[in-house]
Structure 1
Amino acid sequence: MKLFKEYRWVGCWSLRFLLAAALFSCQEIKETPVSKGDDGQVFAIDTQESELPYLVIDTQGKDIPYEPGVMAKMKIYQRKKLIQEQAIDLEYRGKTSFRLSDKKGFNFETVDASGEGMDVSFFGMPVEEDWRLIGHVVNLKDKYIWDRSLIYNHVGYELSNKIGKYASRGQFVEIEVNGEYLGVYYFCEKLKRDTNRINLMSLNASSTNLTGGYILKIDKADPGSEHDSKPLSYFMNNWDDDARYTAFNSFRSNFDIFKNPLSFPAFQAPYHSQQFLETYFWYEYPSAENITSAQKAYIAKYIDDFEQALISDDFSESTRTYTDFIDLGSFVDYFIVTELCRNVDAYRISTFLQKDRNGKLAMGPVWDMNIGFDEGGRIPITDWVANYNDYVNNDPWMVPFWWDRLLEDPRFKQAVKIRWQALRQGELSPSQIQKIVDDAVEYLKKNGAVERNYAKWDQGIGVNYDQAVQNLKIFLTERATWIDGQIGAW
């Protein structure tokens, strides 16, 4: 009897082993469904029947640098059909966002087979060679995300374009890079001089008319070509380069943020104790490498003449001289879009200015809204972003005195009032503002892009996408209503 019991136990164990082995074997040979493009390209994720363009970028085994770029192949699919293929020169982009975010952004240039730049159209946008892939900031270590709605830049740029002021055109896409799915990005135009972007007359070393065109930026400094090809570890920690202004790359205002003449030397070491008082103007076009001494002298004097006029004008009188130097309408529109979006980076960084040949200084285009809207908590919903300096002390990048001074001018305020109230009856009506949000959200959600993006990036952060969208819509309603009241009292 004892022998039988031992045999039965051994037999059952053997049977169990055989069954488990068979099950394991079945699991081993079971094929995992593969998502492919119509050309056989295997995707890192199944995009189902998504209308959202899906980009497959392959650097063919090469690491992606910060700058200069690396040659790569880019394929664009829609509903898994290959619709465009292009050689590109790819690099990482951003300063603070590059260092803080696990979801990196990219710059790329479209190139031919030899690596030379070539103009290309994407998604019906005008042909050009310089483009941006911008993702929202995701920090997995500290568990935070900027712009959980994924649409801040799109909303801000659409608002500007709708009121007739060019902002970067774009398209929501999903991307994978070297086989890794990276989620939803905003594929958009680089801001640069071009007939279909910032439409200015060209200016080169042989130009005899010094009046334009110029593009300036009030912004953090770029690392400079001397840092090309340094390892990524350098760019991850090069905070000093953000504040390294030189006579080569920029010029400084002669006035501090309180409109007092500056008495200490320009171009001191990064983050020196008085840097918060300074405003630097970065040479965007012509670039620092191409701008001539005469052109530098001209545009610096022009800015100084404007600033002196703005300071010296008596606003109790009927005459103005500062308006001889600026396109007032562009300042009004820049103010409106910036304030509606509560873009706390505007005025002081990521701020573009332009001056065409024989024209006046104009503000814009608007740019970089990743900590705007309901994310822009440095400024209360019931105050102007222009009053940033009242809430933040000694930031290396403060708001220039221009905006405080303009808000002292009844004529500027009246121009804002007339323009705002007209726009509220049309392009910036409550329904039109909400429609921009609703259309973008519907497009992303119905195509499954939100779900796929956060399957990748919501790693214990706890994103409630619908609530993020609702928060954005509530903010826009409350912000616009507050502006109605403020401007209505002017």
Structure 2
Amino acid sequence: MMRPQFAFSGILIGLSVLVACKTDKKEEPNPETPEEVVFAVETGASQIPYLIIDTQGTDIKNEPKVSAELKIYVEKTPVQSAHIGIEYRGSTSFRLSDKKSYGIETWAEDGSDTQVSFFGLPEEEDWILMGHVVNEEEGYIFDRTLMYHQFGYQLFEAMGRYASRTEFVELQIDDDYKGVYVFMEKLKRDKNRIDIKKLEPGDVLADEITGGYILKIDKTAGGDLNINQPLEYFENNWEDDARYTEDISFRSYYDINGQPMAFDPYGEPYHANMYLETYFLYEYPKAAEITAAQKNYIQTYIRDFETALLADDFSTEVRTYTDFVDLSSFVDFFILNEVVRNVDAYRLSTYLYKDRGGKLNMGPVWDLNIGYDNGGRVPIDGWVINYNQYVGSDAWMVPFWWPRLMEDPVFRAAVKTRWTSLRGGTLSTVSLKAMVDATASYLLENGAVDRNYERWGKAIGVDYGASIASLKAYLEERTQWMDGQISAF
């Protein structure tokens, strides 16, 4: 049972990395005498990496990370081990899901960070074990195919953009089998991830202060607030999702309708006018490290871009907003999120970055578990950028940027050109369906689907074949609808 390979014509080169991302880089068995190990489940001859994390009896916390040992097996043979720190991750997903996600760091024996390569990926210390949201009490599963995250990231990478590299794994923590997970890169500044210049506190000169920066439009829970509370606190800390402060964020000068804000920022969580606001979180440099001068620079840059976007007369040839943004990155970000109908896009889990001397870029794409055929808040024949028209009561709404961009003939022409090219290869219906089939086959033939759903959602019931058929039908219908819309641009 080999990991799936792809050999499609046209521009669909590079998709041989799909599913396992490194199909030609199989781990070599450890030359030492294999230890006797008993997995929590029988995996047979599965080629999917099996991870065992030993916490030595220590309870995992939301933060800080606790010390543990990670061992990786392929076909029951140990191939790698590492000392790690592990913690729970996620805010809404942590509260909703019985199947938790984890953040891990690779540590030296003294507890300091050390860079390690897993599955042939570039060395780094920060990684994520992403679970799939399952709520057995309320009877729902966000992604029954187990592939929403991985599929979208691989598509974005095939489009020539960086996305978190992934590997399907099965996870066991101590003696508890946790099911199928996606092992993935955490988004951060790194030469092999978001490749921008390092910005030091002393970088304040005109040619230095321009980058690099990473911003995020998102909730404030997670690591933003550095909350030191017992684990039970995080099961119901909903207000922390909207606790924006001047230390960790800044607010757009304009509301979601493109009007200047008429009230002060940093109000109480979920105040009556919160839906009008868009906040940008400091992701890099971190909020604790970014200087006042650097904050002022990036805030001014965003405000100048937004002002230009609103002021430009789209009936003329002149554009000034494009002086501030890499338009091609906005186009690709739009296309990917619309194909997968990511209803969190643009308003949550949205990354932006700016390199030194460069323009503002959208991406990488992130957090795609509510979308595809499960993205019902936006109809299959509607744009996600028009989310505000479909959902009028959300605390987090889509910024004015995207409806405004759609009014611009220059943006629409760029989308049309790019879409036409991608539909000839990477985003063709044949290619999309083949990707789904190959991924599903890899998980099924190695028995991972059965093991996962034996552990999770038995009372809910999952017809995996029907879930895969639904995903393929959705992708065909969605892209055909987009064909009709974009052809009229």
Same fold by TM (over 0.5)?
yes
Give the C-alpha shift of residue 38 in structure 1.
3.8
1:141 aligned residue: 137
Tell me by how many angstroms 1:146 deviates: 0.7
Contact 1:38–1:80 (Cα < 8 Å) also in 2? no
Give the drift of 1:39. 1.1
**1:82 alignment partner, one of 78, 85, 92:** 78
Q: Measure, in 1, the Cα distance between the counterparts of 2:201 and 2:488.
A: 49
**Counterpart Cα distance in 1 of 2:57 and 2:246:** 39
Indicate the residue corresponding to 2:276 in structure 1: 277
Instruction: Give the conservation status (yes or no) of the 8 Å contact 2:50–2:74.
Output: yes
Say which one has the larger Rg: 1
Tell me which residue corresponds to 2:387. 388
Match of 2:124 in 1: 128
Where do 5+ consecutive residues of structure 2 fail to align?
Answer: 1-32
In structure 2, the residue corresponding to 1:47 is in which secondary structure? coil
The within-5 A match list for 1:120-269 is 120-207=116-203, 208=205, 209-222=208-221, 227-269=226-268
Amino acid at match of 2:385: A
Distance apart, 1:378 and its partner CA:
0.2
Look up the SS of the partner of 2:263 in the other structure.
Answer: coil
Matched, 1:96 2:92: yes
1:258 deviation in Å? 0.3
Scaled by the length of structure 1, the TM-score of the pair is 0.91
User: Contact conserved, 2:91 with 2:222, CA < 8 A, in 1?
Assistant: no
Cα gap change, 1:389/1:228 in structure 2, threshold over 3 Å: closer, same or farther? closer
Query: In the alignment, which residue of structure 2 is the partner of 1:369?
Result: 368
Contact 2:224/2:248 (<8 A) preserved: no
Rounded to whole Å, the distance in 2 between the matches of 1:318 and 1:394 is: 37
User: When the two structures are aligned, how many residues end up with a matched partner?
Assistant: 454
Distance 1:304 1:67 in 2: 34
Distance 1:79 1:123, change over 3 A: same
Q: CA deviation at 1:224?
A: 5.5
1:341 aligns with 2:337: no
For residues 419-474 of structure 1, give each alpha carbon's deviation from its aligned partner in whole angstroms, at most 9, with x where no partner exists. Answer: 00011112111122112211111110000000000011122101101000110000
CA distance in 1, matches of 2:155, 2:237: 34
Moved over 6 A (4+): none
Q: State how far apart, in whole Å, the 2-side matches of 1:225 and 1:112 are.
A: 25
Query: Counterparts of 1:41 and 1:114 in 2: how far apart (Å)?
Result: 27
Tell me if structure 2 keeps the 8 A contact 1:65–1:229: no
**Residue 41 (structure 1) shift:** 1.9
Give 1 or 2: higher helix fraction. Answer: 1
Work out the CA distance in 1 between the residues paired with 2:348 and 2:270. 15
Partner residue in 2 for 1:73: 69
Cα 1:401–1:289 shift into 2, 3 Å: same
Match of 1:324 in 2: 323
In 2, the alpha carbon distance for the partners of 1:398 and 1:218 equals 11
Matches within 5 A, 1:328-477: 328-477=327-476
Q: Distance in 1 between matches of 2:483 and 2:121?
A: 34
Provide the rounded CA distance (Å) in 2 between the counterparts of 1:439 and 1:200.
Answer: 34
Tell me the amino acid that sits aligned with residue 446 of structure 2.
N
Following the alignment from structure 2 to structure 1, what is the Cα–Cα distance between the partners of residues 473 and 262?
46
Structure 1 residue 307: deviation in Å?
A: 0.3
Question: What are the equivalent positions in structure 2 for 1:53-72 lying under 5 Å apart?
Answer: 53-72=49-68
Counterpart code for 1:401: F
Shift of 1:226: 6.4
Q: Does the C-alpha gap of structure 1 residues 50 and 89 become closer, same or farther in structure 2, counting only changes over 3 Å?
A: same
Question: With structure 2 as the length reference, what TM-score do the two structures score?
Answer: 0.92
Partner-residue secondary structure (3-state), 1:156: helix
Runs (5+) with no aligned partner, structure 1? 1-36
Secondary structure of the structure 1 residue equivalent to 2:187? coil
How far is 1:223 from its partner?
5.3
Letter in 1 for 2:461: G
**Structure 1 contact 93–106 (Cα < 8 Å) conserved:** yes
SS at match of 1:436: helix
Partner of 2:291: 292
- Contact 1:171/1:186 (CA < 8 Å) preserved in 2? yes
RMSD (Å), alpha carbons: 1.1
- 1:115 maps to 111
Find 1:47's aligned residue among 43, 53, 62.
43
What is the identity, as a one-letter code, of the residue corresponding to 1:261? P
The Cα offsets for residues 205-254 of structure 1, whole Å up to 9 and x where unpaired, read as 01131100000000001355765441111111111110000000000001
State, as a whole percentage, how many aligned pairs show the same letter.
56
Show CA shifts across 1:343-387 (max 9, x none).
Answer: 000100000000000000000000000001001000000010000
- 8 Å CA contact 2:213–2:354 kept in 1: the answer is yes
